[in-house]
């Protein structure tokens, strides 16, 4: 286990994984561009192909969480809700507090074969500054202040629900937290650090959600007040209420990554060996410069997810003026 942890911390392995993700992404995006010719001919075929291609890319990040870091994910929900997973079109609402919350959401979706749509009604990640602004907005609108969430932006949710009427049959409310007050980061995942995620999942049939835009917005505000209460319970008891289910990992994410790694790393390693034995100082220096640039690019890519570097100028009028 110590050796495995050491290997996961090696920067060269992290760099190679980043190389696989970026290059495979470019290849997949190019193939997706080529499939545009199918749109006027067969829209359904176009959607199916692009769905599979998107899965091939984004499931590589799921692989990092599931197989590389070995992060555990426990669901707090009832069996009746679990039985519907993967058998209906839904909107998933997830709280936006952590750097890897989207990745935990994707992981749960993937384990049930439905890797796809998530909605962050808060519009941006939770920070103390944004929380203060959110409470000021709540006070000005006569709404209850939330302790652990930002005030939801209702327009996007109500519009999405209206547009997907007849397609979506339910809304899944997901509240995510981590054991022992862990603050997970994508860099921690890349370094192989293991986290323990808990997710409370509640199902709301679409027919139980008001059609009127104002009433629907009020429903969403009430939902976030309930999410706040769930978070309070978790902080006090260290768990969410209700039965627990631990879905099994699927091999598809790992096999998909191994496919791309074999396809892309074989020629790269062969080229690196050729450079090493060439004896050409110019070629060797050029390859080293390439590795340095690649390492900086990967670090910047990871840095995009850092809470302090992301998010909108939520409610900040001064920031909006500067922009």
Tell me the per-residue pLDDT of 188-220, one tens digit each, with 9 for 90 and over. 998 899 999 999 999 999 999 998 999 999 999
Question: Mean pLDDT throughout 142-158?
Answer: 88
Same-domain check for residues 220 and 100: yes
Per-residue pLDDT of 75-124, as tens digits, reads 999 999 999 988 888 888 888 888 888 888 888 888 887 765 856 787 77
- Cα(115)–Cα(264) distance, rounded to whole angstroms? 24
Distance of CA 220 to the CA centre of its chain: 22
Q: Are residues 181 and 202 in the same domain?
A: yes
Q: Are residues 125 and 216 in the same domain?
A: yes
Residue 27: exposure state from Cβ atoms within 10 A (0-12, 13-18, ≥19): middle
Q: Is 105 in a helix, a strand, or coil?
A: helix
Q: Among 234, 249, 264, give the residue marking a domain's end.
A: 249
Instruction: Tell the burial category of 36 from Cβ atoms under 10 Å away from its Cβ (0-12, 13-18, 19+).
Output: exposed
User: Which helix (H) or strand (E) segment is 90 a member of?
Assistant: strand 90-94
For residue 322, the model assigns a pLDDT of: 38
Q: How confident is the model at residue 312 (pLDDT cuts 50, 70, 90)?
A: low
- The whole-angstrom separation of Cα 200 and Cα 204 is 13
| Stretch 31-57: mean pLDDT | 93
Residue whose tokens read 């709404």? 143
What secondary structure letter does DSSP report for 195?
Answer: -
* Same domain, yes or no: 120 and 234: yes
Last residue of a domain, one of 249, 267, 286: 249
Residues 9 and 85 in one domain: no
DSSP state of 66: I
The 10s digit of each residue's pLDDT in 47-74 is: 999 989 999 999 999 999 999 999 988 9
d(CA 63, CA 300): 20
One domain for residues 140 and 286: no
Query: Which of 317, 318, 307 minimizes the C-alpha distance to 122?
Result: 307
Confidence at 260, pLDDT banded by 50, 70, 90? very high
Q: Are residues 150 and 172 in the same domain?
A: yes
Is residue 30 domain-shared with residue 78, that is, in the same domain?
no
Task: Evaluate whether residue 319 is within a structural domain.
Answer: no
Alpha-carbon span 151 to 134, nearest angstrom: 6
Q: What one-character-per-residue DSSP string does 37-61 give?
A: GGTTT-HHHHHHHHHHHHHHHHHHH
Same domain, 49 and 89: no
Domain count for the chain, please give it.
Answer: 2
- Residue 237 neighbours by CB under 8 Å, 6+ apart: none
Is the separation of the CB atoms in 82 and 75 below 8 Å?
yes
Whether residue 30 sits in one domain with residue 6: yes
**Both 94 and 200 in a single domain?**
yes
For residues 143 and 210, membership in a common domain is answered with yes
Angle, alpha carbons 85-206-119 (nearest 5°): 65
Is residue 40 situated within a structural domain?
A: yes
Q: Which domain covers residue 208, as residue numbers?
A: 71-249
Q: Is residue 314 a part of any domain in this protein?
A: no
Assigned domain for 164 exists: yes
């Amino acid at each position: 286990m110590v050796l495995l942890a050491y290997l996961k911390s090696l920067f060269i392995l992290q760099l190679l994984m980043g190389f696989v993700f970026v290059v495979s992404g470019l290849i997949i995006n190019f193939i997706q561009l080529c499939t545009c010719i199918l749109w006027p001919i067969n829209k359904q075929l176009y959607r199916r192909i692009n769905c599979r291609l998107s899965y091939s890319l984004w499931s590589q990040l799921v692989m990092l969480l599931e197989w590389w870091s070995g992060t555990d994910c426990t669901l707090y929900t009832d069996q009746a809700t679990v039985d519907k997973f993967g058998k209906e079109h839904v909107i998933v609402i997830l709280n936006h507090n952590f750097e890897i919350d989207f990745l935990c959401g994707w992981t749960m979706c993937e384990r049930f074969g439905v890797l796809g749509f998530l909605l962050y009604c808060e519009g941006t990640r939770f920070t103390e500054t944004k929380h203060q602004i959110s409470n000021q907005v709540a006070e000005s609108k006569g709404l209850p202040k939330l302790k652990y969430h930002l005030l939801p932006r209702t327009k996007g949710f109500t519009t999405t629900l209206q547009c997907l009427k007849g397609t979506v049959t339910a809304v899944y409310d997901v509240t995510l937290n981590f054991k022992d007050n862990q603050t997970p980061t994508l860099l921690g995942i890349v370094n192989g650090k293991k986290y323990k995620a808990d997710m409370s999942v509640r199902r709301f049939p679409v027919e139980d959600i008001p059609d009127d835009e104002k009433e629907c917005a009020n429903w969403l505000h009430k939902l976030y007040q309930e999410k706040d209460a769930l978070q309070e319970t978790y902080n006090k008891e260290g768990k969410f209420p209700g039965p627990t289910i631990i879905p099994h990992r699927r091999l598809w994410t790992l096999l998909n990554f191994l496919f791309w790694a074999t396809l892309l790393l074989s020629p790269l390693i062969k080229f690196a060996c050729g450079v090493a034995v060439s004896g050409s100082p110019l070629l060797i220096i050029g390859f080293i410069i390439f590795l340095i640039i690649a390492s900086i690019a990967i670090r910047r890519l990871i840095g995009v997810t850092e809470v302090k570097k992301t998010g909108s100028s939520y409610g900040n009028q001064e920031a909006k003026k500067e922009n």
